Amino acid sequence: MEKAIRIDGLNVYYETFHALKNIQIEALPARAITALIGPSGCGKSTFLRTINRMNDLVPGSRVDGKIIINGVDIYDQQVDVEALRKKIGMVFQQPNPFPKSIYDNIAFGPRLHGVTKKSELDEIVESSLRQAALWDEVKDKLKKMAYDISGGQQQRLCIARAIAVNPEILLMDEATSALDPISTIKIEELAQELKSKYTIIMVTHNMHQAARASDHTGFFLNGELVEFATTEQLFSNPGDERTESYITGRFG
């Protein structure tokens, strides 16, 4: 197993609230899907947002510990946060396309990073939309507003937008929770395709989704990472009784 990320003694505080407690993950696998599960407020979204340092934006938040990607601690002073976020794409709970055309949504990221040539942008737009399994549905209406397509399509558009800057890691923060079941399945299938190229980490409140769509699963409870294992093992033979209680539906 190739490892993408190592987490070493990660703590996150919001003012005085201790949101993540000494998280330790030896090897978060590359080119695979890792699901993060746990009840509301357990810290799984906070954890996800520490990986691309989106948590920096929360006033009063503080991080200590290390997150090591490609041998570099991303909380090191030297790290260029913008370059880091370019390498780590993120898809949010609600589809959040810009109020621009489908084309301009995908081109937004590449343009930020200096791509201006039309032919180059065209190519990125097409390949990103193809990877997000959206090309055939929108290829004739690239100039249309992104809001004119369905919610599920918008979410795949957001995935395409994230892919367009050529990231290594894709973070999905409950990316299907605002979608209908069919759109949800499409996104899950898409994730399966994308994992050959990207390391995917998804937060989900839906245990069944974690069970059917992920390779590894981490279970969070009250800011602690209770268990991190292969999905098969975690769901069939959990090592901690709190995990077992949660996955058998005794709480949460």
Partner 1 sequence: MNLKIRRAQNKMFEFLFILALSIAMLVLLVLLVQIVIDALPRLSMQFVTSFPSSEPSEAGIYPALIGTLYVIGIMTPIAFFIGTGAAIYLEEFSKKNALNSFIQLNIRTLAGVPSIVYGILGLTIFVRGAEFGASLISGAFTMTLLVLPIIIVAAQEAIRAVPRARREAALALGATKWQTVARAVLPSAVPGILTGMILAVSRAIGETAPLIMIGAFTFVAFLPESLTDSFTVLPIQFFNWIARPQDEYHELAASGILILLLVLISLNITAVWLRNKYQKRI
Q: How far is the CB of 94 from partner 1 (least distance, A)?
A: 6
Q: Work out the angle at residue 232's Cα, subtended by the Cα atoms of residues 213 and 170, and round it to the nearest 5 degrees.
A: 35
From CA 66, how far away is CA 83, in angstroms rounded?
A: 18
Q: How far is the CB of 91 from partner 1 (least distance, A)?
A: 9
DSSP 57-125: GSTTEEEEEEEEETTEETTSTT--HHHHHHHEEEE-SS----SSBHHHHHHHHHHHTT---HHHHHHHH
Q: How far is the CB of 53 from partner 1 (least distance, A)?
A: 9
Q: Work out the angle at residue 47's Cα, subtended by the Cα atoms of residues 99 and 81, and round it to the nearest 5 degrees.
A: 60
Scored b (16 or more CB within 10 A) or e, 143-170 reads eeebeebeebbbbbbbbbbbbbbbbbbb
Binding letters toward partner 1, positions 144-183, x by CB under 8 A? --------------x--xx--x------------------
- Give the contacts of 119 (CB within 8 A, at least 6 positions apart): none
Q: How far is the CB of 103 from partner 1 (least distance, A)?
A: 13
Q: How far is the CB of 59 from partner 1 (least distance, A)?
A: 7
Q: How far is the CB of 67 from partner 1 (least distance, A)?
A: 16
Q: Is 100 near partner 1 (CB under 8 A)?
A: yes
- Single out the residue of 28, 33, 54, 202 in contact with partner 1 (rule: CB under 8 A): 54
Size of the site for partner 1 (CB under 8 A): 27
Q: Is 199 near partner 1 (CB under 8 A)?
A: no
- Give the contacts of 199 (CB within 8 A, at least 6 positions apart): 4, 5, 28, 29, 30, 31, 32, 34, 168, 169, 170
- Single out the residue of 86, 130, 197, 242 in contact with partner 1 (rule: CB under 8 A): 86
Q: Is 59 near partner 1 (CB under 8 A)?
A: yes
Q: Is 120 near partner 1 (CB under 8 A)?
A: no
Q: How does DSSP classify residue 195?
A: T
Q: Is 225 near partner 1 (CB under 8 A)?
A: no
Q: Is 82 near partner 1 (CB under 8 A)?
A: yes
Q: Is 48 near partner 1 (CB under 8 A)?
A: no
- Single out the residue of 96, 177, 206, 230 in contact with partner 1 (rule: CB under 8 A): 96
Residues that bind partner 1 (CB under 8 A): 52, 54, 57, 59, 82-87, 89-90, 92, 94, 96-100, 108-109, 112-113, 158, 161-162, 165
